[in-house]
């Protein structure tokens, strides 16, 4: 359903990500532990580690890569991030373990490498990335005793700069794992706050937070730093089911507003099945409002695509979803004192109801004509819709406001129209049942707008932007734009 009501995300994330559903869904945390892959010595030691009760510290289901592929397919997950765990100990998960699994199917699996920073990581990174697709690096400061705020740590600085250049994220684990020797003072909230304030040009992912413990404390950082992302994995659960965990997360005031586009979800397979994570997520989002449910279902498992643009291409043709299909000049009249240029703009929506951002179209057309006619600096711009279910709207383009408007219109247009008179065979010999679409066009926006031009500038408010509200789609439609400019005396 959410695909039918999705916004045009190009005005938020750029044209590449206009349609969320051109990208596959991602499991952001898979441990490289599978039956047919021989593990490293470090991994063998990790799986043999036992606590004082004789139980394994690191639980894992004994599954094959084929089993994992079935789980991914059943959950409609297309890709998985396979993660190393360098703890600077005799046990852990080596980068060679990641290499072995990703090599088995690099179309599905992508690597997250790990380094304890005792030495430079770059040579090893370059060697591995020449063999498999790499998306990021994971650090475990509380186990390796890495001071992430040590400005003299050249290996850390070098790694951060390399990740910035290669567009790799840096995942920092807060250490909520049942392993001995956890120095929690290396991953305090204050430590992260200081680190984030000095490294705002690298994407940082916090991993391993506990919803019943430290999540709310660290979550506050998400409001301050736009480069900070949050990973949800089974360590978040705190004794809850996946469904209850997601419900608890989504009940945190402001979390969805702040994190919907900076949230990734991992199963920690083979600890848990991605199917259980997906089921819990879907059950929890069912209780949310129309906008929040649709937004999270569109992006929560797809956000990670935007972290690695060099690796994740659309899974089908994305050029279909550009809002502007064609701009054609249809008439130009000019004399010594006036120039009038008319354009037909052909556009496309790709949801049942969609709010399309058209500010840039207007500004680009005006700019190009001003450059050709530099002395014609006053006048007006007319924008006209040709359609009874397309209206023109002026409002602020803060992306939260844009999404609120879009989903409000989408929800209104989805109401039951069975009691309307506009449900019978229309004059065109086709059934009509879109009375609410006509209501939207009548009640919100205008059929045409006129914008004044003075001294070579469009005279609009600092926060005013322009949209076409398109209903009863997906559809192509036309907008008429006319520039009437007079010569300055």
Residue 439 binned pLDDT confidence (cut-offs 50, 70, 90): confident
Say if residue 372 is in the same domain as residue 458: yes
Residue 108 burial (10 A CB sphere; 0-12, 13-18, 19+): buried
Say if residue 459 is in the same domain as residue 419: yes
Residue 328 in domain: yes
Report whether pLDDT(361) > 70.
Answer: yes
> Residues 6 or more apart from 487 whose CB is under 8 A from it?
336, 337, 338, 375, 376
Say if residue 98 is in the same domain as residue 240: yes
Summarised one tens digit per residue, pLDDT across range 242-275 is 999 999 999 999 999 999 999 999 999 999 999 9
Residue 292 in domain: yes
Say if residue 211 is in the same domain as residue 97: yes
Residue 329 burial (10 A CB sphere; 0-12, 13-18, 19+): exposed
**293 backbone dihedrals φ, ψ, rounded to 5°:** -60, -50
Q: Which of 307, 336, 365 is the last residue of a domain?
A: 307
pLDDT value, residue 289: 95
Say if residue 274 is in the same domain as residue 391: no
Say if residue 255 is in the same domain as residue 336: no
Residue 17 in domain: no
Say if residue 355 is in the same domain as residue 215: no
Say if residue 256 is in the same domain as residue 387: no
Say if residue 32 is in the same domain as residue 155: yes
Residue 10 in domain: no
Say if residue 178 is in the same domain as residue 241: yes
| Percentage above 90 pLDDT, the chain | 81
User: What CATH number corresponds to the domain at position 462?
Assistant: 2.60.120.460
**In this structure, what token pair is assigned to residue 361?**
């179209």
Residue 434 in domain: yes
Residue 442 binned pLDDT confidence (cut-offs 50, 70, 90): confident
Report whether pLDDT(283) > 70.
Answer: yes
> Residues 6 or more apart from 165 whose CB is under 8 A from it?
none
Q: Which of 277, 307, 337 is the last residue of a domain?
A: 307
Residue 437's domain comprises 324-487
Residue 13 in domain: no
Among candidates 212, 308, 282, 309, which has minimal Cα distance to 252? Answer: 212
Say if residue 211 is in the same domain as residue 247: yes
> Residues 6 or more apart from 363 whose CB is under 8 A from it?
458
Q: What is the DSSP string of 374-413?
A: TTEEEEEEEEEE--TTEEEEEE---HHHHHHHHHHHHHHH
Q: Which of 252, 280, 307 is the last residue of a domain?
A: 307
- Number of structural domains (the chain) is 2
User: What CATH number corresponds to the domain at position 287?
Assistant: 3.20.20.140
The H helix count followed by the E strand count for the chain is 16, 17
Say if residue 330 is in the same domain as residue 301: no
> What is the value of pTM for the model shown?
0.94
pLDDT value, residue 54: 82
Residue 102 in domain: yes
Summarised one tens digit per residue, pLDDT across range 73-113 is 999 999 999 999 999 999 999 999 999 999 999 999 999 99
Summarised one tens digit per residue, pLDDT across range 179-202 is 899 999 999 999 999 999 999 999
Residue 366 in domain: yes
Bridge partners, residue 470, by sequence: 354, 390
């Amino acid at each position: 359903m959410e695909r039918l009501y999705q916004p045009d995300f190009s005005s938020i994330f750029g044209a590449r990500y206009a349609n969320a559903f051109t990208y596959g869904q991602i499991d952001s945390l898979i441990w490289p532990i599978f039956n047919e892959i021989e593990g490293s010595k470090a991994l063998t030691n990790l799986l043999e580690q036992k606590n004082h009760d004789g139980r394994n510290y690191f639980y894992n289901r004994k599954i094959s890569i084929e089993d994992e592929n079935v789980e991914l397919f059943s959950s409609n997950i297309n890709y998985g991030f396979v993660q190393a765990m360098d703890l600077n100990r005799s046990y852990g998960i080596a980068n060679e373990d990641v290499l072995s699994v990703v090599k088995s199917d690099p179309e599905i699996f992508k690597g997250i490498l790990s380094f304890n920073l005792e030495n430079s990581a770059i040579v090893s990174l370059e060697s591995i990335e020449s063999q498999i697709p790499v998306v990021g690096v994971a650090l475990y400061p509380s186990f390796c005793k890495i001071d992430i705020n040590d400005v003299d740590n050249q290996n850390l600085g070098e790694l951060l700069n390399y990740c910035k250049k290669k567009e790799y994220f840096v995942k920092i684990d807060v250490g909520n794992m049942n392993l001995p020797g956890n120095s929690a003072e290396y991953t305090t909230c204050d430590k992260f706050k200081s680190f984030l304030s000095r490294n705002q040009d690298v994407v940082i992912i916090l991993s391993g937070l506990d919803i019943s413990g430290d999540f709310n404390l660290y979550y506050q950082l998400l409001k301050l730093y736009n480069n900070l992302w949050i990973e949800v994995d089974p360590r978040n659960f705190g004794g809850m089911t996946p469904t209850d965990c997601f419900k608890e997360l989504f009940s945190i005031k402001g979390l969805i507003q702040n994190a919907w586009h900076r949230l990734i979800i991992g199963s920690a397979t083979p600890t848990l099945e991605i199917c259980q994570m997906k089921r819990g997520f879907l059950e929890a989002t069912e209780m949310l409002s129309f906008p929040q449910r649709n937004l999270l279902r569109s992006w929560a498992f797809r956000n990670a695509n935007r972290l690695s643009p060099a690796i994740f291409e659309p899974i089908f043709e994305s050029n279909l979803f550009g809002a502007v299909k064609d701009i054609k000049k249809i008439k130009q009249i000019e004399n010594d004192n006036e120039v009038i240029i008319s354009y037909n703009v052909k556009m496309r929506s790709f949801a049942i109801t969609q709010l399309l951002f058209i500010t840039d179209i207007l500004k680009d057309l005006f700019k190009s004509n001003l450059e050709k006619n530099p002395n014609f600096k006053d006048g007006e711009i007319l924008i006209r819709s040709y359609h009874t279910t397309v209206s023109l709207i002026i409002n602020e383009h803060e992306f939260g406001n844009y999404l609120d408007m879009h989903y409000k219109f989408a929800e209104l247009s989805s109401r039951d129209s069975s009691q309307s008179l506009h449900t019978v065979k229309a004059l065109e010999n086709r059934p009509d049942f879109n009375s609410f679409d006509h209501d939207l066009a009548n009640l919100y926006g205008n059929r045409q707008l006129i914008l004044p031009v003075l001294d070579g500038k469009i005279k609009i408010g600092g926060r005013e932007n322009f949209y076409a509200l398109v209903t009863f789609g997906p559809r192509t439609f036309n907008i008429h734009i006319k520039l009437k400019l007079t010569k300055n005396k």
